[in-house]
Amino acid sequence: MRTASAPGKVILFGEHFVVHGSPAIVASIDLRATAIVELARSGGVRLRDGSRGSPAVRAAEYILSRLGASAGLVIEIRSKIPQSVGLGSSAAVAASSSAAALHLLTGRVDHSLILEASYEGEKIVHYMPSGMDTSIATFGGSGLYTRSDGYRRLDIGLEEILVVNTGRQRRTGDLVLRVREFSEKKPELFKQLLDEVGRMIMEGLDYLRSRDLEKLGRLMNRNQEFLRMVGVSSPEIEEAIALCLEGGAYGAKLTGAGGGGCVIAVADPDKLDKIIPVVSRRFEVFRVRLGVDGVRIEQP
């Protein structure tokens, strides 16, 4: 038996546009998915609870095929990451199950193989994933992601953030398609937005470096305007943002695919707890730590 865990993530800037080539700023969060993998008597990979079509199963199958192994595996998932709300739960589940399977069969942790396996796993729930979620689940920390160059780890200097769960689950693939349709209908406008997002990311890195949370917050509000324009906001998201701002956040935006899911908000660390009661009148809200470890083997 082997146990591994991997973190969820928040995207601070650049979701959706990253799928079309612009950069994004992303950070792991201290909510983790854990996979417990055991050898089974019969071949094939399955989840202990019998459910099918899981990124965890696909990722472990990929490991078996790359090793040329025919072992049977049973996987149990225990996750603290809410599902289908933009916090990278499927990538974390895929990374933890592939790491546990690989370590059980070989005694090794090979991050680039785990990344490949997780990407295969995530394809089940995702339409043309950028690879960002699986990179952060595998390597942890925080940094800059582009489709062309992958993940570059950077210390973003932001330690905590608020995450509001609107409770509305949605499929990332559907929202990625929605943005693609927008890009096809309005190619010139979309190109302008992409360029703007690229500049926004550089500005965001500057504010992170100088720890200017007020400017960072305003930039998040601007990023949210773009996400609204391409059609991935929702009434719940707008309501959650309004409550964060009412509570004193400098800025707030959706994180992940949108259409429901989660909102993030920035404020001075001593203000974060004061925003919570304002938002929790309506939504689940938690304070998360950023930049935690990537996939790792755990003691059973």
| Catalytically annotated residues | 133
For helices 89-106 and 132-139, the axis angle rounded to 10 degrees is: 50
CA angle 63, 66, 68 (to 5 degrees): 105
Tokens encoding 243: 């409550």
Q: What is the dihedral of CA 192, 24, 11, 137, to 10 degrees?
A: 150
Among left, alpha and beta (phi > 0; psi -120 to 50; other), residue 259 is: left
Sites of contact with ligand MEV (CB under 6 A): 15-16, 18-19, 86, 129-130, 132-133, 172, 176, 256-257
Judged by beta carbon, residue 7 or residue 86, the one nearer ligand MEV is 86
Judged by beta carbon, residue 101 or residue 257, the one nearer ligand MEV is 257
Rounded to whole angstroms, the Cα distance separating 281 from 49 reads 35
Would you tell me how many other CB atoms lie within 10 Å of the CB of residue 286? Answer: 16
Query: Burial level of 40, CB count in 10 A (0-12/13-18/19+)?
Result: middle
Contact between 101 and 66 (Cβ < 8 Å): no
Judged by beta carbon, residue 18 or residue 74, the one nearer ligand MEV is 18
Report in angstroms how near the CB of residue 255 gets to ligand MEV at its nearest.
8
Report in angstroms how near the CB of residue 69 gets to ligand MEV at its nearest.
29
Judged by beta carbon, residue 132 or residue 249, the one nearer ligand MEV is 132
Judged by beta carbon, residue 197 or residue 213, the one nearer ligand MEV is 197
Rounded to whole angstroms, the Cα distance separating 9 from 28 reads 4
Partner residues linked to 64 by β-bridges: none
